[in-house]
Amino acid sequence: MKFTINHCNINVFDLERSIGFYKEALGLIEARRKEAQDGSFILAFLSDENTGFRLELTWLKDKQEAYNLGDNEFHIAFVVDDYEAAYQLHKKMGCICYENTSMGLYFIEDPDGYWLEILPTRR
């Protein structure tokens, strides 16, 4: 038996804002969308166009307040081929929320408060 990671889901309050953020900050594009027949939810699957892994953004029609992320001790990590250019982009966007220079990484925060780890390609 062999398992393959397919996708990770996070819930978002403003779907279009989140899709725009992930495109600008990480170059992710919307690969597929599924909408409930009754309009109660929309699923948008984002792709990096390099792997089969997808980030699923779920928007719920009846959600009125921001999501409670608890202590926000979970995150999604991204490896980037040009770490310095990514850092400058994220600095310009104002989304860097934590830096660990001794480990050579930093985190950005998306519009819903999720933390995303940015790592350089290790050689």
User: 37 and 51 in contact (C-beta within 8 Å)?
Assistant: no
Residue 4 pLDDT class (50, 70, 90 cuts): confident
Residue 117 and residue 19: Cα distance in Å, rounded? Answer: 18
- Residue-number span of the structural domain to which 91 is assigned: 7-61+74-120
| Alpha-carbon dihedral sign for residues 100, 93, 55, 66 | positive
Mean pLDDT score, 82-90: 97
Please count the structural domains in the chain: 1
Percent of the chain past pLDDT 70, that is, above it, reads: 99
3-state DSSP assignment of residue 25: helix
The pLDDT assigned to 100 comes to: 96
- Name the one residue in this structure whose structure tokens are 């398992």: 3
Residue 68 falls within a domain, yes or no?
no
For residue 123, pLDDT over 60 is answered with no
Residue 41 falls within a domain, yes or no?
yes
The pLDDT assigned to 66 comes to: 86
Residue 67 falls within a domain, yes or no?
no
Q: What is the CATH number of the domain that holds 40?
A: 3.10.180.10
* Sequence-ordered list of residues with C-beta below 8 angstroms from that of 14, at least 6 positions apart, any chain: 59, 111
Question: Mean pLDDT across the chain, nearest whole number?
Answer: 94
6-64 tens-digit pLDDT: 999 999 999 999 999 999 999 999 999 999 999 999 999 999 999 999 999 999 999 99
